[in-house]
Structure 1
Amino acid sequence: MNPLVALLDAKLQIAGSEILWREIIGNLFGLASAVGGMRRRVWAWPVGVAGNVLLFTVFLGGVFHTPQALDLAGQAGRQILFILVSGYGWWQWRATRDGSPSANAVRPHWASARDRWFLIGAMLVGTVVFAQIFGMIGSYGKWSEAWIFTGSVLATYGMARGWTEFWLIWIGVDAVGVPLLLKAGYYPSATLYLVYAGFVVWGFVVWLKATGSEPPLQRQSVPLR
């Protein structure tokens, strides 16, 4: 067997259930990215992308023959959008960092009233629209998937912009994501969502303390390579 295929298909047994190592590793990358986001480090973005790639193959269980054999189209699709939005966030944070690898890459601040209305409107419209799309393609739990999908993209975008509110969006995502993933049998992901729930509260407090207490960062020119 090809070593790469063997690595991707590696499993372990937990309480009588088969769990893919790549689901665990992908989620650990996601947790590491969240830690980097809380600390406002640029490396949070590429680390998160690595986790997104692994989890994309996990949530298309019917395509990649995972133990669950379920296609969570919203979960898989959001990994793609995560990668796209993370590219923007990576560029945005590099542009505002002062050049030191250990420097904060963004100044936490509240979104404007206009931006908040944008977030609320996009959350409602996105949930309705994507629920219909996920329903048509036969995704598991279309409304939950649509809520998680839309919220995840908006939270990632808010993180890229330095909006403190993005942590609150993640709390809403986790509140729906844990029951969905438990029901679908994605136990490592559900467990990590529970970890995230506590972590995002911590992250929100950290960013809240920094909001408005730091001078604006100066935007730097970013080389293309």
Structure 2
Amino acid sequence: MPWLQWLFDARLEFGNGQFLLWREVLGNLFGLLSALGGMRRKVWAWPVGILGNLLLLTVFLGTVFGSPNPVNLLGQAGRQVMFILTSIYGWYRWSRAQHEGGTAVEPQWASWGTRALLVVAMVAGTALLTPLFSALGSFPPVWADAWIFMGSLLATYGMAKGWVEFWLIWVAVDLVGVPLLISAGYWASAFMYVFYGAFTLTGFFVWWRARWRQDGEHVAVETAHLDPTISRR
């Protein structure tokens, strides 16, 4: 297909032989739209994100898809597959909640036990995946690629569950992702990671405020049940 061939070959070139792949730019723009939808708790955030994941999968498997940038970031590529699978779960979960007459998701704080498990999973998963990614030829430092993969997995799952803390996991991913992507030559993705870092902090406070409002509403309802005269004032 001519348009598909154009999409794979199109690039924006600038000095010293540097360039940006348009599918990398488009994939990150879809990811940004998905993040915006997630912050507003919109179901469409999931399918839009999947489109971006498919584009970025072809970017980070540079040698497999004949990319002008012959660098494989296996953690980055693998997390696109993980994103797609987890997004299908999140899409189903939010859609069902909406069809049952409520909002797509109600932000909630994870328990302290869940937070501890998230930290353990992040560290242990990075340690276990690092030698695997290294053996498969991922770009160094390989631990950073493994960190990004595990953080992305946990953050996406946390978003599907509605945990407010998932935004902070994205911050941890962005802090490691920016220098790795710059060193690998993926400038568009590195720039988006810088932007995502600020955006995810904003998303955290937006969901925190939504959780605070819900807690206030629950307290008001419980108070009204205990003192029926309040509801008549």
* TM-score of the aligned structures, taking structure 2 as reference length: 0.87
Alignment-derived partner of residue 138 in structure 2: 139
Q: List alignment gaps of at least 5 residues for structure 1.
A: 217-225
Q: Give the Å deviation of 1:108.
A: 0.6
- Aligned counterparts of 1:22 and 1:150: Cα–Cα separation in 2: 24
Q: Is the 8 A contact 2:177 2:193 kept in 1?
A: yes
Partner SS for 1:19: strand
Higher relative contact order (CA 8 A, sep 6+): 1
Alignment-derived partner of residue 3 in structure 1: 3
Q: How many residues align?
A: 214
Q: Which moved more, 1:193-202 or 1:6-15?
A: 6-15
More helix by proportion, 1 or 2? Answer: 2
Q: Is the 8 A contact 1:38 1:206 kept in 2?
A: yes
Alignment-derived partner of residue 118 in structure 2: 119
Q: Residue deviations 1:17-57, cap 9 Å, x none?
A: 12111000000000000000000000000000000000000
- Aligned counterparts of 2:201 and 2:212: Cα–Cα separation in 1: 19
Identity of aligned residues (%): 54
The one-letter amino acid of 1:61's match is G
Q: State the Cα RMSD in Å.
A: 1.6
Alignment-derived partner of residue 169 in structure 1: 169
1:96 aligns with 2:94: no
Rg larger in structure: 2
Q: Is the 8 A contact 1:62 1:71 kept in 2?
A: yes
Q: Is the 8 A contact 1:109 1:212 kept in 2?
A: no
Q: List alignment gaps of at least 5 residues for structure 2.
A: 219-233
Q: Residue deviations 1:52-74, cap 9 Å, x none?
A: 00000000112222232100000
